[in-house]
Structure 1
Amino acid sequence: MDSRIRVLHVDDDPEFRDLTAELLERENDRFDVRTAAGPTEGRTQLESGEFDCVVSDFDMPGESGIAFLETVRGDYPDLPFILFTGKGSEEVASEAISAGVTDYLQKTIGAEQYELLANRIATAVDQYRTARELERQNDLFEKAESIGNVGAWEYDIVSDTSYVSDEVLRIHGLDTDAHLTPEETIEYFHPDDREQLRGAFRAAIDAGRSYDLELRMRDADGRQRWIRTRGEPQSEDGDIVRVRGILQDITDQKRRERKLERQNARLEEFAHVVSHDIRNPLQVASGQLELARQTGDPTAFAGAEDALNRIETIVENILTLARHGRTVDETEPVPLAAVAREAWETVETGGLALSVDSEVELAADRERLRQLLENLVANTVEHGEGAETIRIGEIQPLYTATRADGDTTNGFYVADDGVGIPEGIRDEVFDSGFTTAAESTGFGLAIVAQVAEAHGWETAVTDSRDGGARFEFTEGPAGGTG
C-alpha cells in the first residue's frame, strides 16, 4: 500500500493556502499537499488526480465549504473531508455533520493548529484506507465463497451465539438476512444423516475433536444437495470456547463422481457383453453354418440366421445404452399419464389392459421416460405370465415439478398382476444381459435402470398389491422428479 497521503487543500486565501500546505508537509513527511483557490478548482483537481483527503475552508466567495462538501460526497461518498475554518459555530458544525463531514477543526493562532490538523488528516486517511482494505478483503472473500460454493460459520460456546456467512445462507436456499442456528442447520440435512452431524458437532464442543463429513441436505426450496461440512474447535486458556468451520456445496462433484463410476461400470458391462453375450450366438451361428456346409440342411441356415438376428438385437441394445448415456441434461414438466398411454401404443400388448391413476407431472426427459415405460410394458408382456392389467400410479410424498402447495409425490410405480419376480433375483434383474428367458437379450430392464439413473431416480422391485411385479421410481439423494 502507498504510504503517501495526497491532500487537497481548498481555500480562497492564497497566503494561508500556501502556508498551510508547507507546514503540513513539514509536520508529516508522508504528506503531498496540492492546493485549490476554491470549490470549482477543487472539483477539477479531484477529477484529474487521486487524493486521500480534502481540507477545505468554510467561508469562501460564491460557494461555501458545506456546498463544496455536498458536491464531493455525490462523487466520493467515503473520501475523508475535513472542514478547516475560521468561522466556527454550532450551526456550522451541525450543517457539516449533516452533509457528511469527516472532521471539523477551527482555525486558531499558532503553529499547534497545523500539528493538530496533520494528526486529524493522518488518522482520517488511515481509517479510510483500513476500511477500504477491509471492504476489498470482504469482497474477495465473498467472491471466493461464491466461486467455490463454500461458506463459513462460527458458534460461540460461551455466549451461545452463532454466525454464518452469506454463502452458507445461500446454500440453504435462504435470504442473506436470515438467521441460522446450529440446530436449525442440522434440520436441513437428511434425517438419516442428522445424528451423525449432531454427534460430530457435540464431540467438537465436548472433546475438541474436529470433523469433516459429506452429507445430504434438502434446502429451503426443496432441492437436494450433497454438502461437505467441517468443524474445528478453538481453545483459549485450555478451554474450548468456539467451533468454526465451513459448509461446501459438493453436489456437482458428487454427480461427477457418480458419472465416472457409472461410466466405469458401463465399460465393464460392455466388456461382459462382448466377451459373453455376443460370443455365444456367434458360436451358434458358426456351428450352424459349418453344419449347413457339411449336410446342406436348410434348417441349419435358419439357425444361423436366428443367431445373427440375436446378435443384431444385442448390438442395438448396447448402442441404446451407449448413445443416451446415464445423464439427462434438460428436463421439463411431463404428465405421467399421457406418456404412459403413448408408450402403451408402441408395444404389442396382446390382451393386457392399462390402468393409469395419476395426474402428476414429473421433471423428466419425455422421450426417455417413454422409453422406460415401453420397456416395462414389454417386460410384462414377455415375462409376466398370467398378467391381465398393468397399473401406473404415483407414490406419496415428495415435491412435484408443479410444486403446488400440498401437491407432493415421491415418484411413481409400474405394477402388474402376473407371477411377479422371485425375491432372490430382484437385485439382478437390472443387470445388462440378465434374463430368465432363453430368447431374451436381457437388456430391457438394464435400459430402464439407465433411464431412471439418468434422471436421478432410485429404482426398486417389490410385489404389487395383486401379487405381480411392482417397479418403483423415487427421488435419489442428489436429484429427482421435481
Structure 2
Amino acid sequence: MTATHTVLYVAPSVDAAADAVAALERAADGLDVDATDSAAVVRERAPTVDCVVYEEPAHDGAGETRPTRATVVDACAAPPVGGERTPIVLRAATTDPAAARRLEGIDGYVRRTDDPSEWTHLATQIEWACGADGGANDDPRDAGAEPIEERGATLEREHERLTALFENVPAPTVRYQFVDDDPIVRDVNDRFEAVFGYDRDDVVGENVDDYIVPPDLESDAARLNEKLLSGEPIQAVGRRRTADGDRDFVIDVVPVEVGERSLEGFSIYTDITEQKRRERELVAQNERLDEFATIVGHDLRNPLSVARGYLEVAEETGDPAAFREIEAAHDRMSGLLEKLLALAREGAVIDDPEPLSLHEAANRAWNAVEIDTRPTPALELEDDAVLEADRDRLLEVLENLIRNAVEHGNGNESEIDEAITVRIGATETGFFVADDGAGIPEADRSAVFDSGYTTAENGTGFGLAIVEGIADAHGWTVTVSASRDGGARFEFDGSRADETQPELANVDGPEPPRGDR
C-alpha cells in the first residue's frame, strides 16, 4: 500500500467482522481496519473513513439492526453541502463481476472464496477505490485515470489469467506464503497433485517442507527458505519426497517481491529423476570401463607371461609338461576374459523384469554350474517366492553364488572331507542363498563385492562383483552375513514381485533335476 487508509468493514456477523480485520491487516501493512455488523455504526462511521467494504451475506438476514447494501450506499453518499461520497468495495460470493460493478454506488468488487489470495486482491481494490495518492475522497477520474469500475474489471481479468497460468504450468507448482518463517501452502496446481501424489485439500494451509523435504535435507531446506525471505530468486537441484518415494527435481523459486523481504512466491518443480538416473548409469559405466582396462592390463599379464615362458621351454625341449602349462595359462586367460565381459555389462539396463519362480530359477542355475568337487554338493530349496527379475541376469546371480559356495565353501583346504549344501529360499522381501561351508570372516564382508577380491589362489575375484552389479541394476539391496550353519548367506532385499500377477513367466531351457546331483 502507498499510504495508510482507514477502512470500515461491514460484516454479516461479529465473528465475520473479527476475521476480516485480521485477514485484511495481514494482507497489507497500510490498512487501518475497523469492522461492524451494525447499521447504526455504518451510518455514523461511513462518512469518516476512506473506504467501506460491504460483505454481502449469504442469506438475507438483514433487518433494522443489520446493514443492507442499500443502507451502506445511503451512508456513503455525498453530503448535501460539500464533501465527497465514500467509495464502496463489494465482497460477495454469487454476484456476477460485471453486474456488480454496474450496481449503483459500488466502486469495486471482489468475489468471496476460500482462497487466501482474495484478501490481497481486496486490499488492492481498496487502494484503487481510495485513489492512487491516498486521499480519502480523491477521484481518479478527475486526473484522467481509468475509472474505478474499469480498473476493477481489469484486475479481475488479470486475476483470472494468472489463475489459468498457474493451473496450466506443465510442472508441479506451489504458491506459498511465509507465516512465522514457515512456508505455508496457499495453493498447488494439478501437476503437483499428479507428480507428488498429495491432494490439494491435504496440503493447503500446511508447511510444504513437512510434506516434500526428506529428513536428511531439512537443514538445506532451511537455508533455502532464508534466501527466499530475502527476496532472492533461486534455482537448485535436489531431492524431494513424493507419496511414492524420493525423486530428483530442478527447483525454481520466484518470490513475489524480488530484492526485498518477500513473504509470498511460487515454487516450480521440474522432474529430472530419469535424467539423473541416466547420468548415474553413465558414471558407473565409465568407472567399469576404467576398471576393465586396469584389469586387462594387469591381471592378464601374469598368465600371458607364464604362457610365453613355457612356450620357450617347449620350443627348446619339447617337454609335454610345458605344453600343459601353456594350456592351463590359456584356460586362465579365457576364464578371466569371460568374467571381464560379464563385469563390463553388469550395470547395463536390464531387460524388462517379469515374475519368475525362485525355485525354478534355482534349479536351472544349479543344473548349469559345472561341479567337479567330491563329495558331490547338494541343493536344498526352502520357501518359494515370486521374483520380479530379468531372467538371464537372475540365473547369472544364482550361478555365481552357487559356484562361489562350491569352490570356496571349504576355505582353501585341498582335501575336502564334507559335501557342501547350498540352501536357496524366500525371505519376507526377497530371497537368500546360503551354504554350510567355511563362511566369510566378518572383517572381510565389506570387501567381498569389490572387483578382484578373492581368497582362492586361482580365483578371478569378479563373481561377487557381478552379483552386486546385477542386484543394483534391479534396484535390489544385497548383503552378506553368516548362515545358520556357519557358512555364508547372501540376502537380496526388494526382489519380491506383486504375487497377484496372473501367471509366472517360464525360465528358458529344459527342466533340470532338483536336489542332489
Match of 2:424 among 392, 400, 409: 392
**Distance of 1:232 and 1:138 partners within structure 2:** 13
Deviations 1:371-394 (A, max 9, x none): 111111111111111674333344
Match of 1:377 among 402, 406, 409: 402
Secondary structure at the residue paired with 1:413? strand
One-letter amino acid of the structure 2 residue matched with residue 425 of structure 1: D
**Distance of 2:152 and 2:222 partners within structure 1:** 49
1:159-238 equivalences in 2 (<5 Å): 161-174=185-198, 179=203, 182-183=206-207, 186-187=210-211, 190=214, 193=216, 195-196=218-219, 199-200=222-223, 212=236, 214-215=238-239, 217=241, 219-220=242-243, 222=244, 225-229=247-251
One-letter amino acid of the structure 2 residue matched with residue 378 of structure 1: R
- Per the alignment, residue 333 of structure 2 pairs with 311
Match of 1:443 among 452, 459, 462: 462
Partners of 1:215 and 1:226 within 8 A in 2: yes
- Per the alignment, residue 471 of structure 1 pairs with 490
Match of 1:266 among 268, 277, 288: 288
Deviations 1:410-457 (A, max 9, x none): x33322222221233333322333321122222211221221121122
Secondary structure at the residue paired with 2:193? helix
**Distance of 2:153 and 2:445 partners within structure 1:** 74
Q: 1:430 to 1:160 in 2, by over 3 A?
A: closer
Secondary structure at the residue paired with 2:388? strand
1:148-167 equivalences in 2 (<5 Å): 150-157=172-179, 161-167=185-191
Q: Does 1:142 align with 2:169?
A: yes
Deviations 1:350-404 (A, max 9, x none): 3223233243x332212211211111111111111167433334444xxxxxxxx
Secondary structure at the residue paired with 1:357? coil
One-letter amino acid of the structure 1 residue matched with residue 395 of structure 2: R
Q: Structure 1, unaligned stretches of length 5 or more?
A: 1-99, 105-118, 397-408
Partners of 2:173 and 2:268 within 8 A in 1: yes
**Distance of 1:465 and 1:128 partners within structure 2:** 73
Query: What TM-score comes out, normalization by structure 2 length?
Result: 0.56
Secondary structure at the residue paired with 1:245? strand
One-letter amino acid of the structure 2 residue matched with residue 299 of structure 1: A
**Distance of 1:160 and 1:285 partners within structure 2:** 73
Partners of 2:166 and 2:189 within 8 A in 1: no
Match of 2:387 among 362, 377, 382: 362
Query: What TM-score comes out, normalization by structure 1 length?
Result: 0.59
Shift of 1:178: 5.9
Q: Does 1:326 align with 2:326?
A: no
Shift of 1:302: 0.3
Moved more, 383-392 or 443-452: 383-392
Deviations 1:256-307 (A, max 9, x none): 1211111111111111121011111111110111111122211110000010
Q: 1:390 to 1:242 in 2, by over 3 A?
A: farther
- Per the alignment, residue 447 of structure 2 pairs with 428
Moved more, 206-215 or 310-319: 206-215
Q: 1:185 to 1:129 in 2, by over 3 A?
A: closer
Partners of 1:151 and 1:248 within 8 A in 2: no
Partners of 1:457 and 1:480 within 8 A in 2: no
**Distance of 1:130 and 1:330 partners within structure 2:** 49
**Distance of 1:137 and 1:206 partners within structure 2:** 24
Deviations 1:217-248 (A, max 9, x none): 3x43x455334556666669976524642333
One-letter amino acid of the structure 2 residue matched with residue 172 of structure 1: F
Partners of 2:249 and 2:270 within 8 A in 1: yes
Partners of 1:164 and 1:180 within 8 A in 2: yes
Q: 1:427 to 1:274 in 2, by over 3 A?
A: same
Shift of 1:180: 5.3
**Distance of 2:237 and 2:419 partners within structure 1:** 47
Q: Does 1:287 align with 2:309?
A: yes
1:450-465 equivalences in 2 (<5 Å): 450-465=469-484
Shift of 1:310: 1.2
Moved more, 249-258 or 339-348: 339-348
**Distance of 1:368 and 1:383 partners within structure 2:** 22
Shift of 1:195: 4.0
Q: 1:246 to 1:430 in 2, by over 3 A?
A: same
**Distance of 1:270 and 1:262 partners within structure 2:** 12
Q: Does 1:275 align with 2:324?
A: no
**Distance of 1:378 and 1:420 partners within structure 2:** 14
Q: 1:243 to 1:103 in 2, by over 3 A?
A: closer
**Distance of 1:342 and 1:356 partners within structure 2:** 16
Aligned length: 346
- Per the alignment, residue 351 of structure 1 pairs with 377
Shift of 1:204: 6.0
Secondary structure at the residue paired with 1:377? helix
Partners of 2:388 and 2:497 within 8 A in 1: yes
Shift of 1:125: 11
Q: 1:161 to 1:226 in 2, by over 3 A?
A: closer
In percent, how many aligned pairs have the same letter? 40
- Per the alignment, residue 94 of structure 1 pairs with none
Partners of 1:229 and 1:246 within 8 A in 2: yes
**Distance of 2:240 and 2:158 partners within structure 1:** 40
**Distance of 1:289 and 1:446 partners within structure 2:** 33
Q: Indicate the RMSD between aligned Cα atoms, in angstroms.
A: 4.3
Q: 1:223 to 1:394 in 2, by over 3 A?
A: farther
**Distance of 1:186 and 1:395 partners within structure 2:** 34
Q: Does 1:254 align with 2:286?
A: no
**Distance of 2:347 and 2:259 partners within structure 1:** 57
**Distance of 1:228 and 1:417 partners within structure 2:** 50
**Distance of 1:268 and 1:480 partners within structure 2:** 33
Higher helix share: 1
**Distance of 1:241 and 1:184 partners within structure 2:** 14
Q: 1:225 to 1:134 in 2, by over 3 A?
A: closer
One-letter amino acid of the structure 1 residue matched with residue 239 of structure 2: L
Q: Structure 2, unaligned stretches of length 5 or more?
A: 1-95, 101-146, 411-417, 499-517
Partners of 1:152 and 1:165 within 8 A in 2: yes
